[in-house]
Amino acid sequence: MSEFILHQYPASPYSEKVRAVFGRKALPWQAVTIPVIMPKPELMPLTGGYRKTPVLQIGADIYCDTLLILDEIERRHPAPSLYPGDTEDQAKALSWWIERTCFGPAAAVIFAAVGDRVPQAFKDDRARFSGRDFDPAKMQAAAPAMRDTLRAHFAWLAGMLRNRPFMLGGEPSAADFAAYHVIWFLLRNLGEGIAAELGLAAAMPWYERMKAFGHGERSELDAQAALEIARKADPAPLQDQALGKAVVMADDTGRDPVEGELVALDEARVVLRRSDPQVGLVHLHFPRAGFILRRA
């Protein structure tokens, strides 16, 4: 049975990023399908309140945010690398650029088009998640400007791909997976024609190359079985630092705070230890980039 348990749902673009990485590395993994909106009662015992999608579970270790999830998959299965050659920092910086500049506008363009058709419960949830109104009329008014933003950034992406098969050269890096899932989100919801409208026609062969990696060897796992796996496992040993109580929260959307004992900290990663009646002791791993750490 695979060590990797990905808590995800089919329509989630950030989940698609990780699914595609499993494809690239031809890895087996187990999928727990989680709710698209809160409440997520079978996820919260593992994450202590972190609600974003996806979350990677390995026994009693829980990895939040795809920046760190990719690092952990890479650490365990280094070949083929997500950071080929000496590209790790470039790949991470480019991932940050495309996700932070293009994911929000992509969501705005999509929900301007389909927002009238989504259930009210989804609108209310995503308003709470983003801290902003979910108002399809406002999104429709903003859509032309959002499309302009996407075109400006996608022109750089298309330029990077003009003379090379992948963003940083001959092999795909983490950056390609970050760009891929944003475009996957747009194409899945608005149809393939949106690519040309947003200046991505020339990048489509790259998109097809990314899609062709597939999803690796997926099997399904029940949410309760995932909780049981966490309950039976111990977190991987760390050089415990016992740094006192702390709170970690995302700095953009889904800012629900997670409290725990700070047990490891460096410039890239923070680890909180938490205990929950359903899963016992777990270690929650977050990246530093994109998260705020407050120590008690």
Ligand X SMILES: N[C@@H](CCC(=O)N[C@@H](CS)C(=O)NCC(=O)O)C(=O)O
Residues that bind ligand X (CB under 6 A): 12-14, 51-53, 65-67, 129, 253-254, 290
Please check whether residue 189 is in contact with residue 138, taking contact to mean a CB–CB distance below 8 angstroms.
no
Rounded to whole angstroms, the Cα distance separating 86 from 77 reads: 17
Tell me if the bond preceding 39 is cis, omega within 30° of 0.
yes
Distance of closest approach, residue 126 Cβ to ligand X, in angstroms: 7
Residue among 158 and 179 whose Cβ is closer to ligand X:
179
Distance of closest approach, residue 41 Cβ to ligand X, in angstroms: 13
Residue among 125 and 261 whose Cβ is closer to ligand X:
125
Please check whether residue 50 is in contact with residue 258, taking contact to mean a CB–CB distance below 8 angstroms.
yes
Distance of closest approach, residue 284 Cβ to ligand X, in angstroms: 14
Rounded to whole angstroms, the Cα distance separating 158 from 154 reads: 6
Distance of closest approach, residue 11 Cβ to ligand X, in angstroms: 8
- Strand boundaries in 181-279, DSSP class E: 217-220, 245-250, 258-265, 269-276
Task: Return the axis-axis angle of helices 136-160 and 88-114, rounded to nearest 10°.
Answer: 150
Distance of closest approach, residue 19 Cβ to ligand X, in angstroms: 11
Residue among 14 and 134 whose Cβ is closer to ligand X:
14
Please check whether residue 283 is in contact with residue 292, taking contact to mean a CB–CB distance below 8 angstroms.
no
Distance of closest approach, residue 29 Cβ to ligand X, in angstroms: 16
Residue among 51 and 92 whose Cβ is closer to ligand X:
51
Q: Which DSSP state fits 236? A: P
Please check whether residue 32 is in contact with residue 8, taking contact to mean a CB–CB distance below 8 angstroms.
yes
Terminal-to-terminal C-alpha distance of the chain = 39
Distance of closest approach, residue 290 Cβ to ligand X, in angstroms: 6
Can you say whether residue 181 is alpha, beta or left, with left for phi > 0 and alpha for psi between -120 and 50 degrees? alpha
Residue among 158 and 190 whose Cβ is closer to ligand X:
190
Closest listed residue to residue 17, CA positions, set 146, 269, 185: 185
Residue among 13 and 115 whose Cβ is closer to ligand X:
13
Residue among 101 and 280 whose Cβ is closer to ligand X:
101
